[in-house]
Copies of this chain bind each other. A is one copy, B any other.
């Protein structure tokens, strides 16, 4: 081993200190990161009844955290502000078709989701029964999501956008930075954040527009975002930028 450069010591100290404080300190300190408005989009992951509606099959998991954060209202505010400010809005929904029932081994949460019929769509050629189902968009957002301008990607199947057209759609609009939130904080939101970073996009996670299965899972998601995303903002910061 060569000797460790001094800068590395300073660096790891800086990181250790960041982690010792509130866990968003690290990315928050990156005050230097300012997206270019002309190449920035808003992304909402899974804004669907199963996570946002009190009757949703995932509400038991995330509802308490969603209500504490006020995420449903924040998401509506962000989409409206983005549209008013001509910032493109992208939605990456989650959806399972009948033939997805035949998958071999699943991880534990995927298995539970499958058993519960979470986000199930009778498709994929025609969405019979989609209207008002758990996989349908949350009613207060539907008019904005279905306005013909919002880009609705094909449904993702696991947690990330690896198997849908999100990255392609972002690029065909010239997007470089994605401001994002949605459901579930440490699962699909985290996986979308990671995959977008792998694909070379800049990412800002908005910490009070998500929902997590418990506060530990929420803390895990925000800690990871503080290390991986270009910035972690709250709704007020996001509105100030999008406005």
Contacts and interface: CB of A to CB of B under 8 A. Distances in A.
B33 A227 contact: no
B224 A199 contact: no
Number of this chain's copies in the assembly equals 4
A66 to B, nearest CB: 13
Contacts of A8: 57, 60, 116-118
Contact of A216 (B23, B137, B195): B23
B19 A214 contact: yes
B132 A227 contact: no
A38 interface: no
A221 B186 CA distance: 10
A144 interface: no
Interface size class of A (residues with CB under 8 A): 35 or more
A172 B4 contact: no
B157 A12 contact: no
A172 B114 CA distance: 14
Interface string A185-220: 011001100110111111100000000011011011
A107 B227 contact: yes
A72 interface: no
Contacts of A37: none
4 A-B pairs with the lowest CB-CB distances in the bound complex, closest first:
A171-B200, A12-B60, A220-B220, A154-B154
B99 A152 contact: yes
A55 interface: yes
Interface of A: 1-5, 7-9, 11-16, 19-20, 23, 26-27, 29-30, 33, 49, 53, 55-61, 97-100, 102-109, 111-112, 115-118, 123-127, 130-134, 136-137, 145-146, 148-155, 157-160, 162-165, 167-174, 176, 186-187, 190-191, 194-195, 197-203, 213-214, 216-217, 219-221, 223-224, 226-230
A60 B151 contact: no
A195 B104 contact: no
Contacts of A195: 160, 162, 195, 198
A221 to B, nearest CB: 8
A174 B118 CA distance: 24
Given A2-B133, A216-B223, A220-B221, 10 more contacts: A2-B132, A7-B116, A19-B214, A100-B172, A106-B230, A108-B227, A108-B230, A125-B146, A164-B165, A224-B224
